Amino acid sequence: MNASQTQDEAAFTLLVERHRRELQVHCYRMLGSFEESEDLVQETFLRAWRRRETYEARSTIRAWLYRIATNACLDTLSKRSRPALSPGEVPWLEPYPDRLLDEAAASGDDPEAVVAARETIELAFMVAIQHLPPRQRAVLILRDVLRWPASDTASLLDVSVTAANSALQRARATLKQELPERRLEWAPQQQTAAERALVQRYIDASERNDAQALVAMLHEDARFSMPPEPGLYVGRETIRAFWTEGGVGSAAFGDIRCVLTSANRQPAVANYQRLPGASEFRALALDVVRVEDGAVVEIVAFMPGVFRSFGLPATL
């Protein structure tokens, strides 16, 4: 970035905009909210423009923007009062559309960072890191996701390298406790034909309103949650009872139509419901599904407000 570019707002915007998507993914990891991540990217660009004179060519524009974005997120988190989290629950969690993750991957300058971005965006990881204190979360993301050196991470957070390394070790220990037992390996495997077939069976059973078939696909210790609603339902029978109480499988539940999409590098099913007597299907919930060893091991169901970010209509 030369002197003329720092004074030319259009040229400055062109320089920073190419990093928008990957910065949004970074802010999403820090905050857990897709909507807030959009706002924080805008805040990052505003701060960058106001502080453009402070940019030093010793680092890349990308690194400089990550520094600003991280501090903007930490500032936001420091002003926010959020309740203590129960294991496996993050009420403010929102899904991230894969089509935007693809854009982030295409815009990245660092191939290693792009690969790591694919490995550390699934919902189990997102839930786990939201249980970390903000500065530990920042250290973990900078070191283990973005692969920043310890010295650069310490400089960004204005702490010693020893303190940054200590925070990283504490973060890794907490992460191991918070991740589901089967997900201690962060990298999701490439979806197989069998897994795709299982997701299609999940869609077929949903559209038949067949609660018994849906329950039969669940692992015996499957997990189900519905952010921002409280509650984590663990175990096939516990989930079956919750679904039955909510009317799934009954005539009163009406008809269901599904649209397949993807979020956080996982299959996602957008459910539309037509109640008895209604003329159209209305957005009901977006189920982000995790499949392992031939069974559904987790479903995170999001409210219809998230449909917009996936480009999904409100009605069918």
CA distance 83 to 261: 31
Query: For position 259, what pLDDT does the model report?
Result: 98
> What CA–CA distance (Å, rounded) separates 153 from 59?
13
Position 291 scores a pLDDT of 92
Angle between helices 9-17 and 34-50 (to 10 degrees): 140
Among 300, 260, 306, smallest CA distance to 130 is for 300
In Å, how far are 89, 97, 218, 238 from 46, measured between CA atoms?
33, 25, 46, 48
Query: Which residue ranges does the chain devote to CATH 3.10.450.50?
Result: 193-310
Q: How far apart are CA 149 and CA 100, in angstroms?
A: 27
What's the burial of 159, exposed, middle or buried (CB within 10 Å: 0-12/13-18/19+)?
A: middle
The whole-number pLDDT of residue 203 equals 98
Are 188 and 122 contacting, i.e. CB atoms less than 8 angstroms apart? yes
Contacts of 75 (CB under 8 A, 6+ apart): none
Highest averaged pLDDT of the listed ranges 106-120, 134-148, 175-189? 134-148
- Flag whether pLDDT at 184 surpasses 80: no
pLDDT digits 0-9 by tens, 47-71: 999 988 878 766 788 889 999 999 9
Q: Dihedrals φ, ψ of 123, to 5°? A: -65, -35
Hey, is 177 helix, strand or coil? Answer: helix
pLDDT of residue 110: 60
Q: What is the CATH number of domain 193-310?
A: 3.10.450.50
Distances (CA, A) of 77 to 33, 51, 137, 154, 166: 12, 21, 11, 19, 21
The residue to which tokens 């002003």 are assigned: 79
Residues 6+ apart with CB under 8 A from 144: 116, 120, 168, 172
Q: For residue 236, is pLDDT > 50?
A: yes
What are the backbone angles phi and psi of residue 153, rounded to the nearest 5°? -65, -45
Is pLDDT at 158 greater than 70 in this prediction? yes
Which residue type, as a one-letter code, is found at position 181?
E
Joined together, the tokens standing for residue 234 give 């663990």
pLDDT, mean over the chain: 89
**245-255 confidence digits (pLDDT tens):** 999 999 999 99
Q: Which of 154, 138, 146 is nearest to 31 (CA)?
A: 138
Closest CA to 139 of 173, 164, 102, 163: 164
The answer for residues whose C-beta is within 8 angstroms of residue 262's C-beta and 6 or more apart is 97, 98, 268
Per-residue DSSP letter, 129: H
